[in-house]
Structure 1
Amino acid sequence: MDVLAAVATGAGKPFEFRTLTLDDPREDEVLVRIVAVGVCHTDIVFKEGEMIPPPAVLGHEGSGIVESVGARVTKVAPGDRVAMTFRSCGHCSRCDRGDAAYCETMPMLNYIGMRTDGSRTLHDGETPVGGSFFGQSSFASHAITYERNLVKVPDDLPLELIGPLGCGIQTGAGGVMRSLACEAGSSLLITGGGPVGLSAVMGAKIQGCKTIILVEPQAARRDLAREFGATHVIDPAATPDLTAAVRAILPGGVDYAFDTSGVPAVQQAVMGALASKGVFGIVGITPPGTPTPGDVNSIMTFGHTVKGIIEGDSDPDVFLPELMDHWRAGRLPFDRLIQTFPFSQINEAIAAQHHGDCIKVVLLM
């Protein structure tokens, strides 16, 4: 079938709208009509780094309606409302333990721009187009995806806003609620107040953290963090010594820290703000070759833990419905982060997000 897609054509170039040919779903695949899709920083990283050689269709926070399913698909049926998330195999040692975000074939299933057999789902005439991004490539009117990517969305939830649960929201909230598993009464430092960092603030509030500190340069985002439950906010421009600023609030340091910034100097400063036995979770993407923050002797002496976190350690079939329940109950107002744009304005929307005019972009088909 013909689909309209926003195609990445190279670093520094805007997305181009093209009519592409999308395969019919195979026996293990699902065809979804995209209703909306969030724009995530990872989309931009892959586009600018040409990590899937252009031309390519990105997008991995889709939501939509199932149109058709392959013969082996049993989880969803045509007409189902679905949120789309990352792909996992469902049968490796990690998936068997509920660690879908660390599926042994995660890179192959999500990042290579094609099916695992090397075929492409998308073509521009005779030219193959990179796709299958996170098992979906939802910067398009329709996407081929898989059962493991999909979570049904109840009728009372706004399908147009639900896509970011598939990556950004579950990464931030899950990083605090699942990976760090911050206990009630604990202290947490969050660096970066974008959609992931602000979702982490909401998650910390849900967990009952006593002290929640957000470091963020934009005043409006610091104000919003306070509304979401942050007990303290730090403007890094006004307090360049982050370690000292945190220890002025908690002299003994923080129990947990969560970095969304990807700035090596910030990560290094966070290590100096950890309490004894403190745990530092990292989701921010750093430049290639960046060393692990901290000093080995200090890590050993104070029993620190530094851990990478993917997708908030989420098992989507379990965690996304939990997040939906929190939103319904008013505990996870992630919709307040979102500004919607028509799909046709993808380049303008990305520019607005980059300039800080909005926090989280969702494109409406």
Structure 2
Amino acid sequence: MTEDFDVTVVGAGPVGLAAAIEARMLGLTVAVIEPRAPAIDKACGEGLMPGALPALARLGVDPAGHPLSGVSYRSGTTRVDHLFGGAGGRGVRRTILHSALSARAAELGVLVVSGRVDSLEQDDTGVTAGGIRSRYLLGADGLHSTVRRLTRLERPVAQKTRRFGLRRHYSMAPEGDLIEVYWTKTVEAYVTPVGDDLVGIAMLGPQGTNFERALAEIPELAARVAGRRPASDLRGAGPFRQRTTARSLGRVMLVGDASGYVDAITGEGIRVGLAQARAAIDCVDADDPGRYEREWSRRTRDFRLLTAGLVAAANSPLRAGIVPTAAALPGLFGAVVDRLAR
């Protein structure tokens, strides 16, 4: 391919497609490189927090799903619920979200090229990768980003701090409109309604977590799914913890999980990724890639600090006290939930 573009996006997940849509909305030419066929699935909680919905609406995307009114933390007989202030969120099957973003990208004329990026070269005027030349390149290729590796922006992570996720769906009506988070000694189980007759259960925990054994440790949840056939295959993701030395190198910028990731424990990767995509494309439009590092830090600061703090507590002797503390201090719990949700 000899045509030049304003920006190449590597990775057609939700954040990569959002970046491509942002580019087209500004009149920029964009090509997306992705080896997988749509709709792309991923093991995740599938809950879009209240702040994600207006960000998607701004892109012209409104995926179907199930309303979410708040979050419920549960451990043994202790339970604390918090309803979102203002507009609620939405549980959306990841394949539905991806299809909606893909349709919007196609409507705006985004070129999606089937392929992989195994090398890249950049100079003072542009970047060449996957046979495509562009003024800028965005690495939106996920937790195991090839672009991050090629630019040598990776930082090592201690193996003992890494956590993983497992997700499966069940055909059953949700019990309500809350995201239920069950805390056990080793895992957190996220129960997210994604349809009137479909519920996703995601387990977050250490490497080697067994979904069925973890489910059995939550009797009330195990009883709800007993006798029901899974509506999807078991899918895994991780390790979650990914670190970077920087989020950009010359004309290459990392967005979404590729730019570094803390953990899925607070559940709002999509909203943060959308903010990163917008910031990166604004920098492309302004021809000012040096600004991206500051914007990335500013737009992800609260998410990184709160998530890191919660993960640290979850991996310490304080774990058993997280839900009781939240129940004893509902105002603090609600403030944290609302800050992460908006």
Q: TM-score range by the shorter chain?
A: under 0.3
The TM-score with structure 2 as length reference comes to 0.26
- Higher RCO structure (Cα 8 Å, ≥6 apart): 2
The TM-score with structure 1 as length reference comes to 0.25
